[in-house]
Amino acid sequence: MSDAAADPAQKTKRPRVNVRRPDVMERVAAEVAVHFHSSIVEKLKDRGGKITIGNTTVLLAQQFGFCYGVERAIDLAYASRRVFPENRIFLIGEIIHNPEVNRQLREMNIVSLPWQELTEDYDDLTEDDVVIVPAFGAPTHFMKKVEERGSYVVDTTCGDVMKVWRRVRGYAKDGVTSIIHGKSNHEETRATASRALGEDGTGHYLVILTLADTDYVGNYIKGHGNKADFMKRFGNCVSDGFDPDIHLQRIGVANQTTMLKSETQEIQTRLLAAVIERDHNGANFQVFDTICGATQERQDALFEMLRVKMDMLLVVGGYNSSNTQHLVEIGEKELPTFFIRDASCIRSLEEIVHFDLHKHEETTSYSRILAGDAPAVIGITAGASCPNNLIEETVFKVFELRGIGREAVAGA
């Protein structure tokens, strides 16, 4: 180990590494295509997302699967191994929320570091190591630790996430508390909350998830509430030193970029109403639309598809993917909806393994929807972190279980 690696005080912050070299990216594009792309899915999308063979129709949402930010993150992770073939490469948590993608990175010997808290693993980093920041970003204290160790950094943080960071930093600078609509234990929300503290660390935030949370906060803003009860409910979702009597005087709403757009809008409406009732004007309320464009497009595409009568909906993606979960929430209000990790979850015509959002666990349901000779219309969509090859396998599996082979599907 070098002297610099042995003495943290001697380390200097390295600039972000640009791994997008033309020679590297050409090879990366070929590898990513082999691992995740699907010509079948692309052709199906180009032809309106509908395919009917015999008495079986499969509908594919017009917007689904990888978004630009996810594609960029994967490309940069693959490129990191090409640019640093002999170095140890680490990843803070997961690059995105999809088990297949993360499995491919593990096979490239890219090692995942804990993201819930800083551990001694970070103390072991050296100036020869490479650390990849995932698409969700990482909290500021994680970034400072990596910089202290002098490691190379490949930052794949999504541009939409960084827009939210700029907004909450602005709130902190102006003395405005960030009300973050998100999941407090999600990587992106934790990264955003750290930026809401501002450059000097004096900013404040409150993370809320549900409309019930919103109404509770709104009532407190209007003067109906107890501080002890408030802190008991939100104690794990606020900045250090948060005082609702002080830090709810001026508020600004932001959000985890993958939340349900309609819910975020309703939260904004209710909080604004509470501020107006208290102050008789909305001067102490700020808002900025920070829903990811790809998330919105996939939600809108599903709403459009739900206008067609379908027998069931399959939503494909990682169980811990927030934007995918919201697609499930939209679908299950209208028809039988199954949240599956991949095609292997469809075990037979009657048995489907899927994730139950309400029980927060994988379960098995038995359905007669796909069985028999009656005509069936099956809808398929996927979150922004789901690769097309998994969607292709789902299309094939549905038809196979209806007695239609892969050759017939490909030929159609």
Residue 67 per-residue DSSP state: -
Active site residues: 188
Q: Which residues contact 343 (CB under 8 A, 6 or more apart)?
A: 390, 393, 394, 396, 397
211: helix, coil or strand? helix
Helix 22-36 and helix 68-83, axial crossing angle in degrees, nearest 10: 120
H/E run at residue 278: helix 261-279
Phi, psi of 252 (to 5 degrees): -135, 135
Angle 330-306-341 from CA coordinates, rounded to 5°? 55
Distance CA 230, CA 363 (A): 35
Distance of CA 223 to the CA centre of its chain: 35
Task: Find where tokens 């899915």 sit.
Answer: 41
| β-pair partners for 154 | 132
Strand residues in 211-280 grouped as ranges (E) = 251-255
Of 147, 142, 138, nearest in space to 8 by CA: 147
Q: Encoding tokens for residue 242?
A: 């948060």
Phi, psi of 356 (to 5 degrees): -90, 110
| Paired sense of beta strands 376-382 and 312-316, if any | parallel
| β-pair partners for 177 | 251
189: helix, coil or strand? helix
76: helix, coil or strand? helix
Distance CA 325, CA 347 (A): 21
Residue 256 per-residue DSSP state: -
